[in-house]
Amino acid sequence: MAATETLTAERILEATEEVLRRYGPGKATVVDVARVLGVSHGSVYRHFRTKAALREAVTERWLERTIVALTPYLEAEGPADWRLTGWLTALFALKRKKAGGDPELMATFQVLIGENSAVVDRHEEHLVEQITRILEDGHREGLFAAPERDFATTARAVFDATDRFHNPAHAAEWSSPGAEDAFAAVVSLVQRALRS
């Protein structure tokens, strides 16, 4: 289909996502991707050195979307403590929606996550950076006390403390009845810890 268009990395990534969505991580093959694009699988290898590299790129794109979706909460107007709760809640809601809306897709995503821990590490660093900025703002506003060591360490601690509510490994627990309350309790705990 659309064999007239130029074959770009972007188009290959879109096709790969479609194939992953349709067949799952176990059955998705490079040949499938090529078939969707109406090209030979050799052409795919012109843009991505290996199947692993292709899957890594898909993972990166996928995670990038979370970052983009969270930026509004990062740049919102209002006091930093309120923005932090908003940001954390948005992160939880985003992940939960993804997990609840299409559990199979989430399982696929989880497999990719497991395959590409380096990409995930970089992604986590980005998220922690976002938290760091809110903490710095909060300190400037006089809402948050000075951090015990530095903002980045505290931000990482906030990220780790809320891990259960954004790490896909825990996706199965997010649909249980108490999840919402448990999340609120941890956020409340974190806010208490930060308050000056």
Which residues lie near DNA (CB under 7 A)?
3, 6-7, 26-27, 29-32, 39-43, 45-46, 49-52
Q: Which of residues 167-196 bind a second copy (CB under 8 A)?
A: 167, 169-170, 181-182, 185-186, 188-190, 192-194
Q: Which of 35, 47, 133, 156 binds a second copy (CB under 8 A)?
A: 156
Report how far residue 58's alpha carbon sits from residue 130's, in angstroms, rounded to the nearest whole number.
23
> Which residue type is seen at 105?
L
CB 134 within 8 A of CB 191: no
- Structural Rg of the chain based on CA atoms: 20
How many beta carbons lie within 10 A of that of residue 124, not counting itself? 18
170 contact, one of a second copy, DNA, none, CB 5-8 Å limit per kind: a second copy
- Helical spans, DSSP H, in 38-79: 41-47, 51-74
Q: Which of 75, 129, 160, 180 binds a second copy (CB under 8 A)?
A: 160
126 contact, one of a second copy, DNA, none, CB 5-8 Å limit per kind: none
Output phi, psi for 195, to 5 deg.
-50, 140
157 contact, one of DNA, a second copy, none, CB 5-8 Å limit per kind: a second copy
Tell the smallest beta-carbon distance from residue 165 to a second copy (Å).
8
Query: Quick one: 77 or 148, whose CB is closer to a second copy?
Result: 148
Q: What end-to-end distance do the CA atoms of the chain give, in Å?
A: 60
